[in-house]
Amino acid sequence: MSSSTHDRPAGSPATGAPGHPDGAAGDQPLPRITQKQARRINAPVQGMIISMAVLLLLVLPFVWLQPPPDAQPYRPDVDVAQEASFVADSAPFPPVVPELEEGWTANYARWNAGAAEGVPFWEIGYVTPQTRFIGVVQTSLSNPTWLAQQAETIPATATTQAGGVEWDVHVRAESSDQDALTVYTGEVDGSTVVLRGDAPGAEFDRLAAAVVEDLSDTTDPRPAEQP
C-alpha cells in the first residue's frame, strides 16, 4: 500500500498544513509602510520631543537665576543694638541689649507684635561660647498663660540668683522624643524675661546677669503719659 506522501520531495511542506497554503509558505510578502504612514507614526514622538525642549528652555533660566540655598536660617552676628533702635519707638518697654564678651554671637534680634497671643515681645537668639543656644524673650505685658507657653509648661524645679535677681529654673531632661531644655524666667525692672535653650547653667547665669545689668541701666526716654 503506497503512502500519499511517497512522491513528495524531502523538506517540502505538507500540502494543506495549517497556516501554509499550498506552495506559498515562504513566499508571503512582508508588510510595507509608506513614507506618509511613517510620518504619521513618528509625528507624536517628534511633537513630544519638541514640547519637552521648549519646556526646558523656559524652565532653565529660572533655575539658573535662583540664589543658592542659605545654609544658615539666621544672619550670623546680628547687631542687636541696631535692631533694638529700630523697634524702640514701638515697644512699650526699652528692648534689652545685653553686653557680652567675645564668643557670644547673636543670630537674630526681632520684634514680635504678638498678634496671636496678645503679648508683644522682643527676642534675641545667642550662640554661646560653647556653641550652644540661648534665646532671650522680653515683654512688659506678660500673663500666666503666655509665660507657661514660653516655658513649654515645664514646672519650675529650682531658683537661682543671677545679676542680683532671683530666677525660676525649669529643666526638661532629654528623652527619645524631646530634646533637653532649660528655661530661666524672672522679673527685671518691669519686664518679664525668659531665657531658654540647651546651654550649660554657667552660660545661662552669664546671660541672665548681662540682661539684668542692661535693664538696670536703661531708662525709658519717652515722657510719661499724663493722666
CATH of the domain at 127: 3.30.200.100
What percentage of the chain reaches a pLDDT higher than 70? Answer: 72
| pLDDT at residue number 47 | 74
Overall pTM surpassing 0.75 (yes/no): no
Q: Is residue 10 part of a domain?
A: no
* pLDDT band at residue 224 using 50, 70 and 90 as cut-offs: very low
Domain assignment present for residue 162? The answer is: yes
Q: Residues 43, 95: one domain?
A: no
* Separation CA 213–CA 101 (nearest Å): 14
- Are 106 and 199 in a shared domain? yes
User: Does 96 share its domain with 200?
Assistant: yes
86 shares its domain with 158: yes
85 with 55, same domain?
no
Q: Report d(CA 213, CA 217) in Å as an integer.
A: 6
Binned at pLDDT 50, 70 and 90, residue 119 comes out as very high
Give the residue numbers spanning the domain of 58. 31-66
| Whether residue 107 is found in the same domain as residue 187 | yes
Query: Would you say residue 73 lies in a domain?
Result: no
Q: pLDDT: is 37 or 130 the higher one? A: 130
Q: Are 138 and 172 in the same domain?
A: yes
Q: Is residue 25 included in any domain, yes or no?
A: no
Give the highest mean pLDDT range of 19-28, 57-66, 179-188. 179-188
Q: Domain count of the chain?
A: 2
Looking at the predicted structure, is the pLDDT value of residue 187 above 80? yes
pLDDT tens-digit map of 126-140: 999 999 999 999 999
Residue 217 reports pLDDT greater than 90: no
Sheet holding 156-162, edge to edge: 105-112, 121-127, 133-139, 191-197, 181-188, 165-172, 156-162
- 36 and 95 share a domain? no
Helices marked H in 119-217:
144-150, 201-217
Q: Are both 85 and 184 inside the same structural domain?
A: yes
C-alpha cell at 206: 552669664
139 within some domain: yes
